[in-house]
Structure 1
Amino acid sequence: MPSTTPPETSHRIALGDAQIAYLLRRSRRRTIGLSIDQRGLRIAAPLRARLGDIEKLIQEHANWVLDKLTQWRERPLPEKLAIADGTRISLLGETWTVAFSDIGRQRWQFAGRTLYLKTAATVDAGKLLEMALREKARTVFAERLGLHAARLAVDTPPLRLSSARTRWGSCAHHGGISLNWRLIFMPLDIIDYVVCHELAHLKEMNHSPRFWSVVEQLCPDWRSRRLELRQLGRQIPQF
Structure 2
Amino acid sequence: MNIYRNIELQKENQTLVLSVVRSARKTIGLQVCENGDAVLRIPNQLSADALQKFLDSEHAWIWKKVEQMQTRMEQRQETGAVPVGELSRDELEKIKKKIESRVNAYKKAMGVTIGWITIRNQKTRWGSCSSKGNLNFNYQLYYLPDELLDYVVIHELAHRRYMDHSKEFWAEVEKYCPDYRERRQQLKKYKLV
Which whole-Å CA distance do the structure 2 matches of 1:126 and 1:198 have between them?
Answer: 22
Pick 1 or 2: higher relative contact order, CA cutoff 8 A, min separation 6. Answer: 1
Correspondences of 1:105-124 after superposition (within 5 Å)? none
1:154 to 112, 117, 131: 112
Which whole-Å CA distance do the structure 2 matches of 1:163 and 1:179 have between them?
Answer: 8
* Cross-structure match for 2:166: 208
1:138 to 86, 96, 114: 96
| RMSD (Å) for aligned C-alpha atoms | 3.0
Retained in 1: the 8 A contact 2:79–2:144?
A: no
* Cross-structure match for 1:77: 71
Amino acid of the structure 2 residue aligned with 1:165: K
Correspondences of 1:55-204 after superposition (within 5 Å)? 77-79=71-73, 90=80, 127-129=85-87, 131-204=89-162
Retained in 1: the 8 A contact 2:114–2:133?
A: no
Query: 1 or 2, which has the higher helix percentage?
Result: 2
Retained in 2: the 8 A contact 1:146–1:156?
A: no
Q: Secondary structure at the match of 1:161?
A: strand
Q: Secondary structure at the match of 1:170?
A: strand
Which whole-Å CA distance do the structure 1 matches of 2:74 and 2:90 have between them?
Answer: 18
Aligned residues: 124
Q: Secondary structure at the match of 1:160?
A: strand
Which whole-Å CA distance do the structure 1 matches of 2:137 and 2:177 have between them?
Answer: 17
Mapped pair 1:223 → 2:163: no
Amino acid of the structure 1 residue aligned with 2:184: R
Higher-Rg structure is: 2
User: Following TM superposition, where does structure 1 have runs of at least 4 consecutive aligned residues deviating by more than 6 angstroms?
Assistant: none
Which structure 2 segments of 5+ residues have no match? 1-69
Q: Secondary structure at the match of 1:77?
A: helix
Which whole-Å CA distance do the structure 1 matches of 2:185 and 2:92 have between them?
Answer: 25
Which whole-Å CA distance do the structure 1 matches of 2:155 and 2:88 have between them?
Answer: 25
Which whole-Å CA distance do the structure 2 matches of 1:141 and 1:171 have between them?
Answer: 14
Question: How does the TM-score come out when normalised to structure 2?
Answer: 0.56
Deviations 1:105-153 (A, max 9, x none): xxxxxxxxxxxxxxxxxxxx97342644432221011100000001111
State the 1:209 CA deviation: 0.2
Distance 1:145 1:126, change over 3 A: closer
Which whole-Å CA distance do the structure 2 matches of 1:184 and 1:156 have between them?
Answer: 20
Which structure 1 segments of 5+ residues have no match? 1-75, 92-97, 99-124
Question: How does the TM-score come out when normalised to structure 1?
Answer: 0.46
Retained in 2: the 8 A contact 1:133–1:184?
A: no
Which whole-Å CA distance do the structure 2 matches of 1:211 and 1:193 have between them?
Answer: 13
State the 1:229 CA deviation: 0.7
Distance 1:200 1:126, change over 3 A: closer
State the 1:182 CA deviation: 1.2
Which whole-Å CA distance do the structure 1 matches of 2:78 and 2:88 have between them?
Answer: 14
Distance 1:89 1:212, change over 3 A: closer
